[in-house]
A and B are shown apart, each in its own frame.
Chain A
């Protein structure tokens, strides 16, 4: 079964600084998708960024970018110029081919210090 591991339960970053959240996954598939979701306290889970495994280019969305290392099965999220509104739980998620469900990591709680 596919698994997703987030080894950092909690992290903190100073406002305006850069932080990287780690994620590794285990799969025997070659075609899959990876996601980072953000869940602010008591608020809705929202998509941050998505990466297709067949794409070598790392995905970028404004201040958010990923470092996708397919051979190492690593998918880290970099947040640049951190803002107070970035404080949230961040979940790394994997989805394989076909009708398979999202598999989530345990999450990383990010605090942003003013």
Chain B
């Protein structure tokens, strides 16, 4: 099976702009989670989607949003970008309907740089 894919791999934006990142899970996986990775804060959970519904949300401002489509592909959007949003954004997929208690497999990430 193909792994988790994320597009684009690299993005450069300026403050105030918005950005949309995409994630395609492993075939058959219905749960998609997003994480932000920075050198200072490490890996932080953004949100999780299952069957087009947000099932869990981390402690991020409302500028961070996401959605999931019927084919399980997911997008996350960041509006009004700030310098501190520069990070590696990782997507992970898992298969269990309960979510959480199954192994999450990660994509290569999208490196976002905000200037």
Interface residue ranges, A against B (CB under 8 Å): 33, 35, 37, 43-47, 50, 91, 95-107
Which of B17-25, B64-72, B93-101 binds A? B93-101
Q: Does B114 contact A (CB under 8 A)?
A: no
Inter-chain contact total with CB atoms closer than 8 Å: 55
The 10 closest A-B pairs by CB, nearest first: A101-B45, A104-B43, A45-B106, A99-B99, A44-B108, A100-B100, A106-B42, A99-B55, A99-B100, A95-B100
In Å, the complex CA distance between A25 and B34 comes to 22
Q: Does B58 contact A (CB under 8 A)?
A: yes
Chain A residues lying within 8 Å of B99, measured Cβ to Cβ, are 98-99
Q: What's the nearest-Cβ distance from chain A to residue B9, in Å? A: 11
In Å, the complex CA distance between A102 and B98 comes to 14
Other-chain contact of B103, A50, A100, A107 (Cβ < 8 Å): A50
10 residue pairs from A and B, CB less than 8 Å apart: A33-B103, A37-B106, A44-B3, A46-B106, A97-B100, A98-B100, A102-B35, A102-B92, A104-B42, A104-B43
Q: What's the nearest-Cβ distance from chain A to residue B87, in Å? A: 14
Interface string of B48-71 (1 = CB under 8 A from A): 101000011010000000000000
Chain A residues lying within 8 Å of B98, measured Cβ to Cβ, are 98-99
Chain A residues lying within 8 Å of B45, measured Cβ to Cβ, are 101-103
What is the chain B residue whose CB lies nearest that of A33?
A: B101
Other-chain contact of A95, B43, B58, B101, B108 (Cβ < 8 Å): B101
In Å, the complex CA distance between A100 and B92 comes to 14
Chain A residues lying within 8 Å of B58, measured Cβ to Cβ, are 101
In Å, the complex CA distance between A13 and B65 comes to 42
Chain B residues lying within 8 Å of A46, measured Cβ to Cβ, are 106
B103 and A99 within 8 A (CB): no
Other-chain contact of B104, A96, A102, A105 (Cβ < 8 Å): A102
Chain A residues lying within 8 Å of B104, measured Cβ to Cβ, are 102
Chain B residues lying within 8 Å of A97, measured Cβ to Cβ, are 100-101
Given contacts A47-B105, A91-B43, A99-B50, 13 further A-B contacts (CB under 8 A): A37-B106, A44-B108, A45-B90, A45-B109, A46-B106, A99-B56, A101-B33, A101-B100, A102-B33, A102-B43, A102-B45, A103-B45, A104-B42
